[in-house]
Amino acid sequence: MSEHEFNVIHPKPMLIVISGPSGAGKDTVIQRMKERELPFHFVVTATTRPRRISEVHGKDYFFVRKEEFARMIEEDELIEYAIVYGDYKGIPKQQVREAMSSGKDVIMRIDVQGAETVRKLVPEALLIFITVGSETELVNRLRERKTETADELAIRIATARKELQRISQFDYVVVNPDFHLDETVDTIRAIITAEHHKVKARQVKL
């Protein structure tokens, strides 16, 4: 059996970034993928923002104090980090390395700014942009969440509009319309499957 044939049968794990503007449904998409017990390792992001009532530490995010986040930055423990709406978010390196060594594809949910950083650090990462059918639909979703003050909402809407202009920096774009969540997940799975069948596989190095 040739090396090429072996790689087709035993594809190497990929580093996959799920990104997009606030309101596009990134968290919901990731949650449905977990519910369907898909064979991926989902990286948990560290953040300094306060925990929401429905969120679980270590499952949705690692909620840390700013002093702890500063230590992680100083000791180079993060693949990338950024300030998002006034709070820090970052991806722990060790978690990603351990996941990839297990042979599973690794999925990270990060903002558009963070996705661009990952692209620079890991050029062979697979970047998927989640969006909605129109800017109007996105704005409506943000307003309906009612999780921010009026000023915070205005910032999120303005940021989302800017992020929609950066789709070209991603490998794929997936529209996530209301009431079609499983179809969105199926599309993402199809993209990942297709990437594993490419003749020239992505060689991820961390």
* Residue 90 within any structural domain of the chain: no
Full domain range(s) for residue 118? 3-43+104-196
- In the numeric block, which tokens belong to residue 131? 């969006």
Name the residues annotated as catalytic. 52, 145, 156
Q: Report how far residue 85's alpha carbon sits from residue 165's, in angstroms, rounded to the nearest whole number.
A: 19
User: What pLDDT was estimated at residue 170?
Assistant: 97
Domain count of the chain? 1
* Residue 143 within any structural domain of the chain: yes
Q: In which region does residue 41 sit, left (phi positive, over 0), alpha (psi from -120 to 50) or beta (all else)? A: beta
* Residue 59 within any structural domain of the chain: no
Q: Alpha carbon 62 to chain centroid distance?
A: 15
Task: Give the pLDDT confidence of 24-48 residue by residue, as tens digits.
Answer: 999 899 999 999 999 899 998 899 9
* Residue 29 within any structural domain of the chain: yes
Average pLDDT, the chain: 87
* Residue 133 within any structural domain of the chain: yes
CATH number, position 191 = 3.40.50.300
Strands of the sheet containing 172-175, edge to edge, are 40-42, 105-109, 15-19, 126-131, 172-175
* Residue 73 within any structural domain of the chain: no
Quick check: 107 pLDDT over 90? yes
pTM equals 0.84
Phi, psi of 127 (to 5 degrees): -105, 120
Residue 161: how many other CB atoms lie within 10 Å: 13
Task: Give the pLDDT confidence of 157-199 residue by residue, as tens digits.
Answer: 888 888 888 999 999 999 998 889 999 999 999 999 999 988 8
* Residue 57 within any structural domain of the chain: no
Q: In which region does residue 20 sit, left (phi positive, over 0), alpha (psi from -120 to 50) or beta (all else)? A: left
Q: What is the mean pLDDT of residues 84-89?
A: 83
Work out the pLDDT band at 141, boundaries 50, 70, 90.
Answer: confident
Q: What is the mean pLDDT of residues 80-91?
A: 85
* Residue 67 within any structural domain of the chain: no
Element (H, E) at 105: strand 105-109
Environment class of residue 32 by beta-carbon count within 10 Å: exposed (0-12), middle (13-18) or buried (19+)? middle
User: What pLDDT was estimated at residue 73?
Assistant: 94
